């Protein structure tokens, strides 16, 4: 979450991303074990955060940045990674 370019700009700024939503993290008790909530922190860093329905398959690609919302998104996220790699082959 603290990854930045040399000038200090967060690498997620202006990028469309997804992750566990704050609501999903709270439902499984991660909010009390983690130092920050992913959705909130991504938004604070300037990301264009998008989400699907809770606990469903949802993944997005913004250039070479590929993200999935939750464990249910593993397959679609992996498929996007494979497609991105095939484009470069």
Residue 1: is its pLDDT beyond 90? no
Least Cα distance to 21 among 80, 82, 72 occurs for 72
What mean pLDDT comes out for the span 52-63? 98
Examine residue 67 and state whether it is found in any structural domain, yes or no. yes
Q: Based on the structure, what is the number of domains in the chain?
A: 1
What mean pLDDT comes out for the span 7-26? 98
Dihedral of alpha carbons 31, 75, 60, 12, sign: positive
Examine residue 33 and state whether it is found in any structural domain, yes or no. yes
Examine residue 8 and state whether it is found in any structural domain, yes or no. no
- The parent domain of residue 43 ranges over 16-88
**How far is CA 75 from each of CA 21, 28, 30, 85, 87, rounded to the nearest angstrom?**
18, 21, 23, 15, 18
Examine residue 80 and state whether it is found in any structural domain, yes or no. yes
Examine residue 55 and state whether it is found in any structural domain, yes or no. yes
What mean pLDDT comes out for the span 3-20? 97
Residue 89: is its pLDDT beyond 90? no
What mean pLDDT comes out for the span 24-36? 95
Examine residue 28 and state whether it is found in any structural domain, yes or no. yes
Examine residue 5 and state whether it is found in any structural domain, yes or no. no
């Amino acid at each position: 979450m603290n990854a930045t370019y040399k000038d200090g700009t967060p690498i997620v700024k202006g990028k469309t991303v997804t992750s566990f939503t704050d609501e999903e993290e709270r439902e499984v008790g991660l909010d009390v074990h983690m130092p920050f909530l992913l959705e909130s922190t991504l938004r604070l860093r300037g990301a264009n955060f998008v989400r699907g329905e809770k606990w469903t398959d949802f993944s997005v690609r913004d250039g070479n940045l590929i993200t999935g919302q939750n464990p249910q998104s593993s397959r679609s996220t992996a498929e996007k990674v494979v497609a991105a790699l095939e484009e470069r082959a």
